[in-house]
């Protein structure tokens, strides 16, 4: 597991080369109740002012003004945008991946069980970030993010990728119809195992993402191995909220940026 400092987790694969990154835990914010404490998602039912303050605190830990931390309106797609400057508040594009060669802009991914995936090519000074839900991953968001980086001058064999905190296989029970979504990808069968409940399965989302990334010939792929569902002290979780009958849940943040 990556080193934790001030509620931030890091991966060695992404260190150095003029890029900085963090997978933030839920600690160190101002939100309360179900959203305690570093909830960075305006899409939650949290007080928007508190969300803004949390995002500003996260940006500050990265050494940036709040306006230099951007996130997309994530829609579980393979859409990727090339970022040249931060977009205004309320103008986030509908996408699940971002790439940039511009320094001083933090590409942020929001998640609460889905996998935040961060990318860097230190030699080309190109970075990327992707929201790794099962739909977007199956649709090709990882491949599209790498392609977007290559279009900016990166090379796949130099790109390093880091998979952040997400739902683990032991916590990800799915129904009998779920494996059918992956029928076009025969290699996916190895990422399902029978669940204790008859006819159901346990799905290995981070393992599946890692396999998709490995197929791109990247320089390195590393993952934190944290389970967002079982680690309530550090992470928000949609599934845990559903199992507890809670009305809402916070969104965790992961971000990467190029130094100026």
d(CA 259, CA 157): 22
| pLDDT value of residue 6 | 78
pLDDT (tens digit, 9 = 90+) per residue, 35-47? 999 999 999 999 9
What single-letter DSSP state applies at residue 156? G
Do the strands 220-223 and 252-258 form a parallel or antiparallel pair, or are they unpaired?
Answer: unpaired
- Per-residue pLDDT, averaged over 117-136, amounts to 98
Query: What order do you get walking across the sheet with 173-174 strand by strand?
Result: 173-174, 201-203, 192-194
Are 33 and 47 within 8 A, CB to CB?
no
**pLDDT of 3 strictly over 80:** no
- Per-residue pLDDT, averaged over 32-59, amounts to 98
Structure token pair of residue 131: 């929201």
Are 100 and 86 within 8 A, CB to CB?
no
| pLDDT value of residue 33 | 98
- List strand residue ranges (DSSP E) for 55-142, in order: 69-71, 80-82, 97-100, 106-111, 115-121, 126-132
The residues that bridge with 4 in the sheet, in sequence order, are 9
The closest alpha carbon to 118, from 164, 64, 62, belongs to: 164
**pLDDT of 51 strictly over 90:** yes
Tokens 């494996």 sit on residue: 179
Tokens 């320089």 sit on residue: 219
pLDDT (tens digit, 9 = 90+) per residue, 84-106? 999 998 999 999 999 999 999 99
The residues that bridge with 19 in the sheet, in sequence order, are 258
Structure token pair of residue 159: 């790109």
Are 58 and 7 within 8 A, CB to CB?
no
**pLDDT of 200 strictly over 80:** yes
Structure token pair of residue 114: 């889905």
| pLDDT value of residue 5 | 63
d(CA 2, CA 51): 26
Exposed, middle or buried, 182 (CB in 10 Å: 0-12/13-18/19+)? middle
Give the chain's domains with CATH numbers: 4-168+204-258 (3.60.140.10)
Do the strands 4-5 and 8-9 form a parallel or antiparallel pair, or are they unpaired?
Answer: antiparallel
| pLDDT value of residue 229 | 98
């Amino acid at each position: 597991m990556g080193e934790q400092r001030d509620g931030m987790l890091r991966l060695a694969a992404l260190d150095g080369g003029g890029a900085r990154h963090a997978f933030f835990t839920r600690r160190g914010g101002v939100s309360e109740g179900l959203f305690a404490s570093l909830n960075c998602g305006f899409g939650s039912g949290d007080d928007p002012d508190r969300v803004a303050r949390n995002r500003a605190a996260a940006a500050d830990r990265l050494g940036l003004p709040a306006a230099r931390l951007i996130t997309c309106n994530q829609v579980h797609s393979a859409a990727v945008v090339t970022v040249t400057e931060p977009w205004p508040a309320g103008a986030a594009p509908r996408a699940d991946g971002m790439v940039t060669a511009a320094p001083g802009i933090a590409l942020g991914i929001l998640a609460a069980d889905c996998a935040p995936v961060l990318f860097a090519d230190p030699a080309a000074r190109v970075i990327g970030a992707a929201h790794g839900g099962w739909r977007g991953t199956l649709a090709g968001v990882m491949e599209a993010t790498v392609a977007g980086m290559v279009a900016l001058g990166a090379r796949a064999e130099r790109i390093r990728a880091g998979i952040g905190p997400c739902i683990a296989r032991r916590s990800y029970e799915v129904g009998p119809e779920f494996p059918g979504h992956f029928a076009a990808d025969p290699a996916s069968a190895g990422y399902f195992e029978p669940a204790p409940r008859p006819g159901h399965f346990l799905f290995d989302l981070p393992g599946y993402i890692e396999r998709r990334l490995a197929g791109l010939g990247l320089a390195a792929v590393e993952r934190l191995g944290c389970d967002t569902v079982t680690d309530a002290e550090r992470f928000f979780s949609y599934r845990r909220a559903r199992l507890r009958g809670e009305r809402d849940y916070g969104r965790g943040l992961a971000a990467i940026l190029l130094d100026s």
